Amino acid sequence: MMEEAAKLLARSRFAIAFTGAGISAESGVPTFRGGSGLWKKYRPEELATPEAFRKDPNLVWEFYRWRMKLIMRARPNRAHRALAELERMGIVKAVITQNVDDLHREAGSQNVIELHGNIFRVRCTSCGYTEDLKRSGRLNEFLKEKGLPRCPECGSLLRPDVVWFGEPLPREALEEAFRLAERADVVLVIGTSGVVYPAAYIPQIVKETGGRVIEINPEESGITPIADVFLRYPAGEAMERLME
Ligand code: BJW
Ligand code: ZN
């Protein structure tokens, strides 16, 4: 199985990666679904919605500040690093991620497409103001502040610049991801339950346009039925063995 996957990758002309929360699990970032995916008494899916934010912005901001602190301390793991290495080798052309944690870029991947935004960016709920808190150097200050964050331009509520259920994905990122999927002859799907759309179309498009699907996940997922090779391992171990 491992040899077959390695062969597919080595012989590919245009391989891409499609990643989800599972690739960051070994960095200590909790996944959304399954055993450990609980925060207080809420399921993350109940908090990642515009309705939850309208009803109780304090609760939603408390959740996101907690996640920002956790993710801030997280470091890329050997799976993130292996993907960056595969890009440097010219094998993987792009990483399409559903993650908001920035760990692919920190690991050295250059061509990263973020489908669900980035947790270190905030944006205004009424005007066009956005801020990248890592770049502006205000992340620590922001996390210390109590109460609801306000827009410095217009005073309205700020929100995390991530995509919640029922919201459209960033158009350019989604179009680029679909273009890449149509071109790809191999997609390496790592650590996603494959149930959230339209992101989950990415491996399906690769498959339908004649490409191969390699999946890495310790559990079966929504992608497993279309996987040509299913490597049932945690991401770090599978990527390390694949690189040998
Ligand atoms: C390991 C591991 C280890 C563990 N190694 N692996 C078509 C059909 C059905 C429904 C829909 C559809 N189209 C749209 C919908 C509705 C909805 C949807 O998909 N619902 C389904 C759930 C039923 N989609 C939307 O609402 C999307 N928007 C949309 O469609 O808009 C339409 C529109 C157009 C025009 C105007 C208006 C609207 C938006 C979806 C946004 C998702 N947002 C979130 C939160 C992001 C912010 C944040 O981080 O807080 O994105 S939800 C959450 O799920 C997050 C993730 O990116 C996403 C996917 O989760 P992921 O990454 O797969 O994680 P898990 O936890 O599910 O799985 C982890 C996996 O790792 C597991 O398989 C483990 O086994 C594995 N694992 N350890 C490797 N060590
Ligand atoms: Zn504003």
pLDDT in tens, 199-230: 999 999 999 999 999 999 999 999 999 999 99
| Closest residue CA from atom 1 of ligand 1 | 22
Backbone angles phi, psi at 37, to 5 degrees: -80, 45
Residue 206's pLDDT is 98
Ligand 1 near 161 CB (within 6 A): no
Residue 45's pLDDT is 83
Strands 130-132 and 117-124: antiparallel
- What is the per-residue pLDDT across 119-155, written as a single tens digit (0 to 9) for each? 999 999 999 999 999 999 999 999 999 899 999 999 9
Ligand 1 near 133 CB (within 6 A): no
- What band does 236 get if pLDDT is binned at 50, 70 and 90? very high
Residue 36's pLDDT is 66
| Closest residue CA from atom 22 of ligand 1 | 196
**What does each C-alpha distance from 104 to 79, 87, 195, 213 come to in angstroms?**
9, 11, 22, 20
Span 64-87, average pLDDT: 97
Residue 89's pLDDT is 97
| Closest residue CA from atom 73 of ligand 1 | 193
Distance 126 CA to ligand 1 centre (A): 26
Residue type, 109: S
| Closest residue CA from atom 14 of ligand 1 | 197
Ligand 1 near 149 CB (within 6 A): no
Please state, rounded to an integer, the average pLDDT across all residues of the chain. Answer: 96
Ligand 1 near 76 CB (within 6 A): no
Taking the CA of residue 35 as centre, how many other CA atoms within 13 Å lie in the half-sphere pointing to its CB?
A: 3
Q: Which atom of ligand 1 is nearest to the CA of 216?
A: 79
Residue type, 216: I
d(CA 229, CA 15): 14
ipTM of the prediction greater than 0.90, yes or no: yes
In this prediction, what percent of the chain has a pLDDT beyond 90?
93
Active-site residues, by number, are 116
Distance 195 CA to ligand 1 centre (A): 6
Q: Which atom of ligand 1 is nearest to the CA of 19?
A: 62
Ligand 1 near 202 CB (within 6 A): no
Whether 11 has a pLDDT exceeding 90, the answer reads yes
Q: Which atom of ligand 1 is nearest to the CA of 115?
A: 57
Whether 1 has a pLDDT exceeding 90, the answer reads no
Ligand 1 near 217 CB (within 6 A): yes
